Amino acid sequence: MARRKAGLGERHKKILKFLEKFQTENGYPPSIREIGENTNISSTSVVNYYLNQLEEMNFIERESNVSRGIRLVKTLEGNLVNAAQAITEMFSVPVIGRIVAGEPVPVPSSDFNYYDQETGIDIARSLLPPREKTSDLFALEVQGDSMIDAMVNDGDIVVMRPVSQANNGEMVAVWLADRDETTLKYFYLEDGHVRLQPANPQMKPIIIDNPAQVQVQGKVVLVIRRMEGA
Amino acid sequence: MARRKAGLGERHKKILKFLEKFQTENGYPPSIREIGENTNISSTSVVNYYLNQLEEMNFIERESNVSRGIRLVKTLEGNLVNAAQAITEMFSVPVIGRIVAGEPVPVPSSDFNYYDQETGIDIARSLLPPREKTSDLFALEVQGDSMIDAMVNDGDIVVMRPVSQANNGEMVAVWLADRDETTLKYFYLEDGHVRLQPANPQMKPIIIDNPAQVQVQGKVVLVIRRMEGA
DNA sequence: CTTGACATCGAACGTTTGTTCGTGTATGAT
DNA sequence: ATCATACACGAACAAACGTTCGATGTCAAG
């Protein structure tokens, strides 16, 4: 057969693809024999030969004399596999519904089992402050243009934590019963009244004299806007 | 010693924490002996005993007679470890600077080596359409209130792909030389002129008669807003 | 035509590794 | 006091596993 050009040959690519697939599906790497079985390589020494080359080319790292001691460093697509991309570094938040102006936020009850949800949105842990807990979060999709003053578009995903009391400066979802309206605003309790400050600095705040009329339903921790057709 | 209440004992927790830590650091799970060595359990059968219990409680899954055949299902914090949280499912985009109204977008040159960047933002692959490539993306942090009409706040992270030509309906960063201004708008080329449509539906578009005056610098694929103090 | 590099392979070996067994202690229930 | 269960442990064993060796084939360069 023709000599290998510098770079990946067919067998390299097959092995690399299999490594990614196996690790994704199983949560641990394959053995030398499993790699061979799935790439039509009948000899463990040939698999070893190719793994050594993938290591030289910085696609993987190997630990000597360790079973399944293969760590992906770079994918076939060229993306670095960051050590930070670990089990605890990404999590799913269930998208449990829509947020619209005319209805209260559908805050899940505390015993709601999110994990049955098929729809969720994946979030890198590093997008939240280290002290923020990742449990109990839920996400809502914005429907309509009613949250413009919060700088939030139709279709945006708002990730929230259920709270019933807010601290000053936090962006919260509040239900204003006398207006039949949910709104997203920065919350300030000052001099016995509530100031709900829009994110858009060109808009004026809502002043609520009776704080009891403000039902805080959740605190916004993240907003994600995906571009349609991007 | 006292009988175990239903739920996790001290040794369960130590083992679970070690599993998370080892997998994060090594890219593959530990062996029974490595678990024992790091949790002060001198016997492989005791480690086996506890792993079986963790499996019963749905924290892990095990493959019989497979070395390092342990798959984390749930972390100590209670988060599900999703199969989607795999090597290729999260990646980093370098945050290479700021986007401000008065300067062109600092589009990186095509041979820029992002991976040396220490600052990056982690993004779940699932936030982008499946056909969107993850290479070549870069991120900018918005500085100032000048992108309000794009519904983008000071401090938001805008993830972009360098392009010099846009398709209709895509949100792009364009540099308007005659105005000395960068703006984020939805791009439409129609009847020989360019319509730059703000994201805020209450604002009017910019009409540019001479399309040559519109320098498309990048296409927005994602916007992320983290809440300060969240 | 010869040589060296690369690729391929089976076999053997020793180490790594998980499972099983038997034993002992402590505790709560009867 | 007895029994059942949980917890703890060392030892032994066999299978899983990675590495090494020697052999063979192909191809490009000289």
Which CATH number goes with the domain that contains A202?
2.10.109.10
pLDDT per position as a tens digit, A57-92: 999 999 999 999 999 888 887 776 755 455 667 787
Say which residue, B204 or A101, is predicted with more confidence: B204
Domain count, chain A: 2
CATH classification at residue A29? 1.10.10.10
Same domain, B109 and B63: no
Same domain, A61 and A93: no
How high is the pLDDT of residue B1? 40
Q: How far apart are CA A21 and CA A6, in angstroms?
A: 25
Touching check for A127 and chain B: CB below 8 Å?
A: yes
**A224 beta partners:** A157, B224
Same domain, B139 and B191: yes
Q: How far apart are CA B104 and CA B180, in angstroms?
A: 8
How high is the pLDDT of residue A2? 44
Q: How far apart are CA B61 and CA B19, in angstroms?
A: 12
Count CB atoms within 10 A of the CB of residue A78. Answer: 11
A143 lies in some domain: yes
Same domain, B97 and B209: yes
A230 lies in some domain: no
Q: How far apart are CA B156 and CA B4, in angstroms?
A: 48
Are A85 and B87 contacting, i.e. CB atoms less than 8 angstroms apart? yes
Where helices occur in chain B by DSSP H, the ranges are 10-26, 32-38, 44-56
How high is the pLDDT of residue A97? 83
B210 lies in some domain: yes
pLDDT tier, A18 (very low <50, low <70, confident <90, very high otherwise)? very high
A220 lies in some domain: yes
A2 touches strand D (CB under 7 A): yes
pLDDT tier, A111 (very low <50, low <70, confident <90, very high otherwise)? low
- Segments of chain A assigned E as strands: 60-62, 70-72, 90-99, 120-124, 138-142, 157-162, 171-176, 181-190, 193-197, 206-208, 214-226
One-letter amino acid at A105 equals V
Q: List per-residue pLDDT tens for chain B, 230 residues long.
A: 445 556 789 999 999 999 999 988 898 999 999 999 999 999 999 999 999 999 999 899 999 999 999 998 888 877 767 554 555 677 878 888 888 877 787 777 655 554 444 578 888 888 888 778 877 888 988 888 778 888 888 889 999 998 888 889 899 988 888 888 888 889 999 888 999 888 887 788 888 888 888 888 889 999 999 987 54
- CB-CB under 8 Å, A199 with B25: no
pLDDT tier, A136 (very low <50, low <70, confident <90, very high otherwise)? confident
- The gap between B9 CA and D2 C1' (Å) is 28
Nearest residue of B to residue A157 by CA position?
Answer: B224
How high is the pLDDT of residue A84? 45
Question: Which domain does A62 fall in, by range?
Answer: 10-72
Q: B42 an active-site residue?
A: no
Q: What does the DSSP 8-state code read for residue A80?
A: B
Are A49 and A15 contacting, i.e. CB atoms less than 8 angstroms apart? no
Same domain, B151 and B185: yes
**B151 beta partners:** none
Q: How far apart are CA A90 and CA B91, in angstroms?
A: 11
Touching check for B168 and chain A: CB below 8 Å?
A: no
Same domain, B122 and B188: yes
Q: How far apart are CA B93 and CA B152, in angstroms?
A: 19
Asked which of B72, B95, B117 is the last residue of a domain, the reply is B72
Q: How far apart are CA B14 and CA B30, in angstroms?
A: 13
Touching check for B119 and chain A: CB below 8 Å?
A: no
Q: B146 an active-site residue?
A: yes
Whether A228 has a pLDDT exceeding 50, the answer reads: yes
B78 lies in some domain: no
Radius of gyration of chain B (CA): 25
Count CB atoms within 10 A of the CB of residue A212. Answer: 8
- Which residue among B79, B82, B151 sits closest to A153, beta carbon to beta carbon? B151
Same domain, B210 and B163: yes
B160 lies in some domain: yes
How high is the pLDDT of residue A110? 58
How high is the pLDDT of residue B2? 46
Q: What does the DSSP 8-state code read for residue A89?
A: G
Same domain, B213 and B111: yes
Question: Phi/psi of residue A59, each to 5°?
Answer: -85, -30
As given in the structure block, the two tokens for residue B230 are 């969240």
How high is the pLDDT of residue B69? 94
Same domain, B17 and B119: no
Same domain, B96 and B209: yes
Please state the length of chain B.
230
Touching check for A129 and chain B: CB below 8 Å?
A: yes
pLDDT per position as a tens digit, A23-47: 888 989 999 999 999 999 999 999 9
Radius of gyration of chain A (CA): 25
Same domain, A52 and A153: no
Range picked from A4-8, A123-127, B216-220 for highest mean pLDDT: B216-220
Mutating which of B88, B118, B136, B167 best tests the A interface, going by the most A Cβ atoms within 10 A? Answer: B88
Same domain, A147 and A220: yes
Q: How far apart are CA A65 and CA A46, in angstroms?
A: 17
Give first-to-last CA distance, chain B, whole Å. 43
Structure-derived torsion over alpha carbons of residues B95, B98, B103, B105, reported in degrees to the nearest 10: 20
Asked which of A20, A48, A72 is the last residue of a domain, the reply is A72
Asked which of B41, B72, B103 is the last residue of a domain, the reply is B72
B23 lies in some domain: yes
In chain B, residues with a C-beta closer than 8 Å to the C-beta of A120 are 82
B4 lies in some domain: no
- The gap between B168 CA and C7 C1' (Å) is 51
How high is the pLDDT of residue A33? 97
Q: Which has the closest alpha carbon to A51: A41, A38, A42, A60?
A: A60
Give first-to-last CA distance, chain A, whole Å. 43
Q: How far apart are CA A10 and CA A136, in angstroms?
A: 46
pLDDT tier, A112 (very low <50, low <70, confident <90, very high otherwise)? low
